Structure 1
């Protein structure tokens, strides 16, 4: 986040002061901004109104689902910083990241998904049947229901497919 600030002058009806070489005027849509607070204060003193500070909006942090859950739970806790510290095992950097997310907001990283190939079979892929089983033998990804054919890393481990070749599903395919 940039520490630079911009200043403008606004009057009590919400219009901004526009300064040009010809003359200053109040315009509701456009205003002149400056980087120097002293200049802004001088303009406010000379033309009326008050100084408004514009600050760059901070970037949201990207978190995993697990990290996002910690930040969400911290919002309902009496001492959110303590909650984050107690539930983070990654040390200073992890705590700092979650505190930044708590203050500035966050987005959850999209979990990578894969199509998993059946070993020693040409164009054959696995498909989930239920929470405990998956089957093989489909000759084309097109034949598969996307939700049942796409595996996360956790799915791959759960179904015991770690030794199989996997193809990452791109955003176009998701």
Structure 2
């Protein structure tokens, strides 16, 4: 987040100073922030406020949202329903101070959930260089929750053939080659 601040002059009616170069005997005020004079230097805003009878307000940039995993986002979401959200976050964080700090920041400033990487999983079977064969893992349609293999000379993409890191571990595919799936659904 940038350390630079912007300032405006506001009156007691909630209106902003339109233009400090106008006569301060009769300052003009507006509710339209697009028409408001914005000051980059605080002392200029203070001068205009003392001449116009308003007070200086500071515009603050919105903090960036934290990127969380789905599991971390669930902790932050559940904390919103608790009487003591900080205690809930501390009690449900198993990774120490840094993660607790990240979750508290997400609670206060908001968060987005990171999209989990997906991979195509295959084993090279050999064959001639121009006609290589691969055994590719895919989700079995016949036996849900299991994987099957098919032999191909070109690794294919599709939701049925994409696995997350945790699924690769779950199915015991760590010794296989993997290729990250890009946004267009194809491997790198």
TM tier, smaller: 0.7 to 0.9
Cα distance, 1:98–1:13 mapped onto 2, change above 3 Å: closer
Say yes or no: does 1:66 pair with 2:71: yes
TM-score by length of 2: 0.77
Match of 2:111 in 1: 106
Match of 1:132 in 2: 145
Q: 1:163 is paired with a residue of what secondary structure?
A: coil
Q: CA RMSD in A?
A: 2.7
Asked if structure 1 preserves the Cα contact closer than 8 Å seen for 2:20 and 2:48, the reply is: no
TM-score by length of 1: 0.83
Match of 2:97 in 1: 92
Bigger Cα displacement from structure 2, 146-155 vs 14-23:
14-23
Q: 1:107 is paired with a residue of what secondary structure?
A: strand
Q: Tell me the distance in 1 between the aligned counterparts of 2:21 and 2:51.
A: 15
Q: Tell me the distance in 2 between the aligned counterparts of 1:166 and 1:127.
A: 13
Residue by residue over 1:104-150, the C-alpha shift from the partner in whole angstroms, topping out at 9 and shown as x without a partner, is 011111111000013426244211015431111152444x5x22110
Cα distance, 1:63–1:113 mapped onto 2, change above 3 Å: same
Q: Tell me the distance in 2 between the aligned counterparts of 1:97 and 1:115.
A: 31
Q: Tell me the distance in 2 between the aligned counterparts of 1:173 and 1:26.
A: 54
Moved over 4 A (4+): 13-16, 20-27
Larger radius of gyration: 2
Asked if structure 2 preserves the Cα contact closer than 8 Å seen for 1:19 and 1:32, the reply is: yes
Q: 2:18 is paired with a residue of what secondary structure?
A: strand
Residue by residue over 1:71-124, the C-alpha shift from the partner in whole angstroms, topping out at 9 and shown as x without a partner, is 111111110111111111222111111110100011111111000013426244
Unaligned runs of 5+ in 1: none
Unaligned runs of 5+ in 2: 127-132
Q: Tell me the distance in 2 between the aligned counterparts of 1:133 and 1:120.
A: 22
